[in-house]
Structure formats: structure tokens, C-alpha cells
Amino acid sequence: MGDGERETWTTDEFGSCHTGAVGVLLADGTVPPPAFFDANSGAGGQSVSQWTVYDGRTGQGPRAAALRAVCSCGWTGPEQYLDWKQIGTQDLQDAGADAADTCMQDWDTHSIEVERSAIPLPEPVTVLLAQLEVEIEKLAKSSPLAAVRAARRLEVLAMQTAYWPAHEARRDAAPGHAAAALGLDESGARMLLARFGRWSPYH
């Protein structure tokens, strides 16, 4: 996805394994490197991949021909072409806002597809989890500390109930299969199983 700083999106469940952003394509179909901005003090600078800097103006990145949603998993969305004749001298942040919003919507669709491709949960479990969420949100309005205790109990329960399943999954499931089932990449799945199974992910 590039090393420069830019706005990114994640979901609570999949975290950094599916980090989304607005990507940039140049007219020749290539992805530009991050734009580098010198610090005023002369000490170092900043690499930026935010789509808004690719307007081709002096001192910034080359001119973007299209925007598209990108994800750290390697997925890319459809290209949203920029009409520079229409943009003219407008600021790219304003002129490209609709295209960038479409990219975010494309990535939202991707994250929903990732969720659907993960191993499904039985309906009773899904219903209970949703009910717990509602009840704790209600509790938070009357007693924030009680809501925190309830969340803590859930945290303890998760660690207790996932310990042996994590060990069994480590033994029986190939890394790629475990990652796909959990909607994560192999590194993320390894870290998650290690946390629940209480072993070092580096062994």
C-alpha cells in the first residue's frame, strides 16, 4: 500500500489485516511513490501517500489520473477517473472528494465480503452476541462501571473459552486455512491464535 502517511480505514474485527485507503494511479497505470516534503527546519521531512497531494503542482507529487480503493490484503477496487479539464485549478481535495468517497464505499463492500467469506457463526451465537452488545450499551447509560465490569467478564470468558480451540486450530488447520476462516492474513491469524492459546507467536 505504500510507506507514506495517509488516511486509512479498518474494521474492529479485522484490524490491520484489512487496512483500506484511497490509492492513486498515474496516467501510465503505475502507482506513484510517496511524495516527500522537506521539513522547514531542514532536519528530515515527511513521506506522504495521501491522494490529495497528487495534483502535479510544483513541490508535490505527480498528477493522479485515477483513484481507487486499496487494501493491505492486496485487493484493489475499480478505478475512479479524474477529469482534469473539469478540475482545472480547483483544489484536488475538493474536486476529487466524490471519487474518494466512492473508494471508501468500495472498500466498505470489500470488508463486508471479507466478513461473509470468514467461517460463519451459528445463529444462536450471533443472536447472543448482539443481545450482549445491546444490554451492555444499556447498562453503560445507568452504570458505566458496571458496563466496564461486564466487558471485563466477556474478556475473561473469551480467554477461557478460546484456549483449547486455539490449540486445536493450531494443530489441525493449515495457516492459510485458519487465516481465511478468521478473515485475517496468516500473520494476523497466528497472532490471534497465540494470544488465545497463550503461547509466543514467534515460536
Residue 46 in this model has a pLDDT that exceeds 90: no
pLDDT in tens, 147-189: 999 999 999 999 999 999 999 999 999 999 999 999 999 999 9
Q: What is the pLDDT of residue 4?
A: 78
Residue 133 in this model has a pLDDT that exceeds 90: yes
Query: What nine digits make up the cell of 95?
Result: 474536486
Nearest to 81 by CA among 24, 6, 21: 24
Answer whether 79's CB lies under 8 Å from 67's CB: yes
pLDDT in tens, 103-128: 999 999 999 999 999 999 999 999 99
pLDDT in tens, 2-11: 567 999 999 9
Can you give the pTM of this predicted structure? 0.86
**Rounded to an integer, what distance in angstroms lies between the CA atom of residue 17 and that of residue 71?**
9
